[in-house]
Amino acid sequence: MNVTEFFTMFAVHIALVIFCLGYLAIGAISVKYGKNVPKRSLEKPQNFPFISVVIPTYNEEEIIASRLDSLVRSRYPADKMEVVIVDSSSDSTPSILDTYSRKYPMIKVIHDEERKGLATALNQAFKACRGEIVVKSDSDLTLAEDTLVRIVSHFSDPRIGAVTGRVNVANAEVSNEVQYRGLHDAIQLSESEIDSVFMAHTFSAYRRHLMKEYKQKEYGDETIQTIHIRKQGYKVVFDPEVKFYEDYPEDGKERLRQKIRRSEGLTRVLLENSAMLFNPKYGRFGTYVFPSNYFMFIVSPLLLMATPLVAAVDLAFFSLATYLDIPILALFGITIVGRKRSKVSSVWTFLELQYAQFRALINVTIMKRRDYKWKKIERVAPRQS
């Protein structure tokens, strides 16, 4: 192989080269800023602020009781907390919620007879909140006893406008998801140290006066708020010690649908706020955090999906990069065939996520999909924290 053939080979697979260089850069920066971050030692608030925990629900009769039990067991003072639930269920969830609201005065239930979408439900809940700190939680999450105390403790720093916590996979049988979450935690920890995190999770807390009202058909709700809060000059932090537990669908197709749905919301947020891309007005968030997420959610799926297609076309018609074409196609083939094997599952999880983000990008930009009503995900039986 001469020099010309060498550079031609890499030119043919420029998409793969950019993909690898992009993730190498993000990985190196994440290691630099996230490797030696000391564990935050937070003091419990001297005077606990009054908080509002917001939970939207839809047909959660199988799990809602256990989830509310984990909230009631919280170490946060009951007289300093209210739980505002907006429910539009058609199963027995409303009666379960009414039972809890009679037993626990801090629980307030807003029954919505017609499903108008997640944004509308959250707007209703936020308007009913009295707390200076709003904690938004999905109905399918289980909280550790000290989670609320920990997340609220961050707000003693007036620079912090929002906090998000660490997703713990409750059903560890989905081991490849556990591995992925560890990598994502490292990225978010570095983002938090550099400036602010981009993505908030399904358990997050916000200063109420900094929050925005959602448009009726918006989705990706947690990250919409963090972007809005960062634009106002406040910091959004990730704390891996703020722990909550989520059951991931064990059925592969159901898990993929969930990833696509969540990626659609994040893709929409990135595209609608593209003015922040490489914008020094927003500090390192604008010059690194936002662009790196733009790369991971929008650019890298396009690059990776193009890679096997380019390899197949080149191998069939041109043979300009045979030494790369064959390993690329072999790697994709082995990963797909052996995706259930432990040594391959982590690679498959990454490829599946890239595919989900590619599908999400197509749905948002070409199909113009506006799926603003949350779907009930088929999960396993509830687990105890």
H helix intervals, the chain: 3-12, 14-34, 64-72, 93-103, 118-128, 147-153, 175-194, 221-231, 252-272, 283-284, 290-294, 300-313, 322-337, 342-365
Close Cβ partners of 29 (under 8 Å, ≥ 6 residues apart): 190, 194, 288, 292
pLDDT band of 140, cuts 50, 70, 90 = confident
97-114 burial: b if 16+ Cβ within 10 Å, else e: beebbeeeebbbbbebee
Q: Which CATH architecture has domain 1-36+48-385?
A: Alpha-Beta Complex (3.90)
Residue 153 CB coordination number (10 Å): 19
- The dihedral over CA atoms of 184, 187, 193, 197, expressed in degrees to the nearest 10, equals -60
pLDDT confidence bin for 109, thresholds 50/70/90: very high
In the chain, the amino acid numbered 341 is: R
Question: Which two structure tokens, joined as six digits, stand for 362?
Answer: 């197509």
Question: Tens digit of pLDDT for each residue in 271-323?
Answer: 999 999 999 999 999 999 999 999 999 999 999 999 999 999 999 999 999 99
* Distance from C-alpha of 74 to C-alpha of 203, rounded to nearest angstrom: 14
What's the whole-number mean pLDDT along residues 229-252? Answer: 88
Amino acid letter, 235: K
Closest by Cα among 208, 192, 217, 7 to 121: 217
pLDDT band at 237 (very low <50, low <70, confident <90, very high): very high
Q: Which two tokens stand for residue 280?
A: 């020094």
- pLDDT tens figures, 13-29: 999 999 999 999 999 99
Of 1-5, 76-80, 178-182, 214-218, the one with minimum mean pLDDT is 178-182
Is the torsion defined by CA of 87, 89, 95, 97 positive or negative? negative
pLDDT at 174: 54
Residue 172 has pLDDT above 60, yes or no: no
Q: Quick check: pTM over 0.85?
A: yes
Average pLDDT over the chain reads 89
Strands lying side by side in the sheet with 51-57: 107-111, 81-87, 51-57, 133-137, 203-207, 160-169, 235-246, 141-143
Query: What's the whole-number mean pLDDT along residues 49-60?
Result: 95
Tokens of 378: 């088929």
CA contacts within 13 A on the Cβ side of 178? 10
Kindly report the three-state secondary structure assignment for every residue of 264-326.
Answer: HHHHHHHHHCHHHCCCHHHHHHHHHHHHHHHHHHHHHHHHHHHHHHHHHHHHHHHCCCHHHHH
pLDDT tens column, 326-372: 999 999 999 999 888 877 888 888 999 999 999 999 999 998 776 55
Amino acid at 332: F
Domain regions of the chain by residue span: 1-36+48-385
| For residue 384, pLDDT beyond 50 | no
More confident residue, 254 or 315: 315
pLDDT tens column, 62-103: 999 998 998 999 999 999 999 999 999 999 999 999 999 999
